[in-house]
């Protein structure tokens, strides 16, 4: 079975400093991987997705993630945090079997951005 | 295109009562998903529709839960004889096409509180 593990439940950074949110996945084959963001009282929004075309994936709002098969990781980064980045972030895998497109979410990482 | 909408946004009910939630996906999206999110956790997959056909149900979906998508457009999720453990945010998402890479667009959710 496929799964994702987010290694930090809470990350705190200062505005203007880099952001690193860590995610490891478990899969017997190359998975479909995503990062979603959930702002308070707002719906989940797709940040970026890995489609096997390129290992470095660029998303919205300056975020990017690198797929590393040897480390089974898909960490999310941003060079400089903004106050508006404070939210809950989910690393997500979509199993290929059945071709349903259903999503399996990690536990989430709360990003706090301090002024 | 107004996005995925869900109704109601909040529902408070007493244990043992039945509740029904509605989801209106983005028009012409053939795939529709229901997820449940409890406090501090990532969303968990409940069920999936391809047009009007319900093609997968999670083991989380007990016999008290039923979902329909009668004409391949809106969907309803009914919970019978609600229990306090059913208290959660119920999320609906839709996507177009086939495959596992298509972005799922999420609604704002229905927050259920069972007293």
* DSSP per position, B24-88: E--TT--EEEEEEE-TTS--EEEEEEETTEEEEE-TTS-TTEEEE-TTSS-EEEEESS--GGG-E
Percent of chain B with pLDDT over 70: 96
Pairing of strands A73-78, A104-105: unpaired
Mean pLDDT of chain A: 91
B48 interfacial to chain A (CB closer than 8 Å): yes
Q: How far is A108 from chain B (nearest CA, A)?
A: 6
Collect all residues of chain A within an 8 Å Cβ-Cβ radius of residue B109: 43
Q: Tokens at residue A107, please? A: 């536990």
User: Which residue do the tokens 């480390």 mark?
Assistant: A71
Mean pLDDT of A25-54: 86
Residue A44 CB-density burial (10 A; 0-12 exposed, 13-18 middle, 19+ buried): buried
For A99, the closest of B99, B104, B109 (CB atoms) is B99
Residue B54 CB-density burial (10 A; 0-12 exposed, 13-18 middle, 19+ buried): middle
Query: Cβ–Cβ of B101/A107 closer than 8 Å?
Result: no
Q: From residue B101, how far is each of A28, A49, A101, B72, B97 by CA, in Å?
A: 18, 8, 7, 21, 10
Using 50, 70 and 90 to split pLDDT, how confident is the model at A97? Answer: low
Searching chain B, which residue's CA lies closest to the CA of residue A96? B100
Of A19-28, A101-110, B93-102, least confident by mean pLDDT is B93-102
Report the C-alpha gap between B38 and B22 in whole angstroms: 19
Report the C-alpha gap between B19 and B36 in whole angstroms: 15
């Amino acid at each position: 079975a496929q799964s994702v593990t987010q290694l930090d439940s809470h990350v705190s950074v200062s505005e203007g400093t880099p952001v690193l949110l860590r995610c490891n996945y478990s899969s017997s084959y190359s998975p479909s991987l995503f990062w979603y963001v959930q702002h308070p009282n707002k719906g989940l929004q797709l940040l970026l997705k890995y489609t096997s075309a390129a290992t470095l994936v660029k998303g919205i709002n300056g975020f990017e993630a690198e797929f590393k098969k040897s480390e089974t990781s898909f960490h999310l980064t941003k060079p400089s945090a903004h106050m508006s980045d404070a939210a809950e972030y989910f690393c997500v895998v979509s199993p290929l079997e059945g071709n349903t497109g259903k999503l399996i979410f990690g536990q989430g990482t709360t990003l706090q951005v301090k002024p | 295109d107004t996005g995925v909408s869900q109704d109601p946004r909040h529902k408070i009910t007493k244990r043992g009562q039945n509740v029904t939630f509605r989801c209106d996906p983005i028009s012409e999206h053939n795939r529709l998903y229901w997820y449940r999110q409890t406090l501090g956790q990532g969303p968990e997959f409940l069920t999936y529709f391809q047009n009007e056909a319900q093609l997968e149900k999670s083991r989380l979906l007990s016999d008290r839960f039923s979902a329909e998508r009668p004409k391949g457009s809106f969907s309803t999720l009914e919970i019978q004889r609600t229990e306090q453990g059913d208290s959660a945010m119920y999320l609906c998402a839709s996507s177009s096409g086939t495959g596992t890479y298509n972005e799922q667009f999420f609604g704002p959710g229905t927050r259920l509180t069972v007293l």
